[in-house]
Amino acid sequence: MKIFQFLKYELSGWKRYEVIALCCVFVLVAINALVLHDSKAAIVSAICGILYTTLAGKGKISCYFFGLLGTSFYSYLSFKNALWGNLVLYVCYYFPMQVTGIFKWKKHLKSDTKEIVKTKLSKKELVIICLAALAACAAVILILWYFNDKSPVFDGITTVFSVIGMYLTVKRCIEQWVAWIIVNGLSSFMWLGLILQGTKAYSTLLMWIVYFILGIYFFFVWKKEMSETEKNNL
């Protein structure tokens, strides 16, 4: 019975245009796979990744199940394309953080919708994170350049902001979407460059572009919801 209740909550709260848009994206992934003969790992990674981001934006805890599966396939793609920063990030950080996220989010679900309670950083926390991000980006770029990473700048920045984004996701902070917008935009350019060099990962590029759009969309969705909550609590 609990399983059916869980599914009921996870499938509720969707707007019609969100469902239509998600279906259209999957159709694009399928067409892309058939026409361009994309790798199977890239296709599975794209589908799971898009589902993860969409469900996370909806505040659904089931996002982490797709996140764990997508992480496994994206790690393989990063290894195959010598993106060492992304590989270490996904294997050593994303995977354990997503497991942590399941337990963290479970403690902060709304009783009526079973969606997470959304939060934001204090000004002090925001300043600390921004300064740490700048220092970490410089250090990681130098390390990746030393190890002959194919895209040290893009890989370095996306690695650092992915760490920050995942941390803020587990904390349920709206600022996560700003971090993800940066990561997704730069990752789109990074994978476009790899594709132009001959890598067959068109679904991965499509995935990052969709991530970028979803990041912008859910930032404003969360901002609107949090503003309405603040007004109701006055």
User: Each residue of 59-108: pLDDT tens digit?
Assistant: 999 899 998 988 888 888 788 877 777 788 788 888 899 999 999 998 98
Query: What is the residue range of 181's domain?
Result: 2-233
Rounded to two decimals, the pTM is 0.83
Better pLDDT: 61 or 203: 61
Q: What's the pLDDT score for residue 34?
A: 78
The mean per-residue pLDDT over the stretch 161-170 comes to 92
In whole numbers, what is the pLDDT of the chain averaged over residues? 86
Q: What's the pLDDT score for residue 234?
A: 62
Cα torsion 190, 193, 194, 197 to 10°: value is: -170
- The residues, ordered by sequence, that sit 6+ positions from 55 with a Cβ below 8 Å of its Cβ are 10, 62, 63, 66
Residue 57 pLDDT exceeds 50: yes
**Cα end-to-end span (Å), the chain:** 38
The mean per-residue pLDDT over the stretch 179-205 comes to 84
Better pLDDT: 141 or 203: 141
Distance CA 234, CA 231 (A): 5
- Residue 165: how many other CB atoms lie within 10 Å: 23
In the chain, what percentage of residues exceed pLDDT 90? Answer: 35
Taking each helix axis from N to C end, the angle separating 95-106 and 152-170, rounded to the nearest 10 degrees, works out to 20
When pLDDT is cut at 50, 70 and 90, the band that residue 208 belongs to is confident
Residue 1 pLDDT exceeds 60: no
**Which neighbouring-strand residues pair with 173?**
119
Tokens 């600390």, residue located: 128
Side chain identity, residue 23: C
Q: For the chain, what is the domain count? A: 1
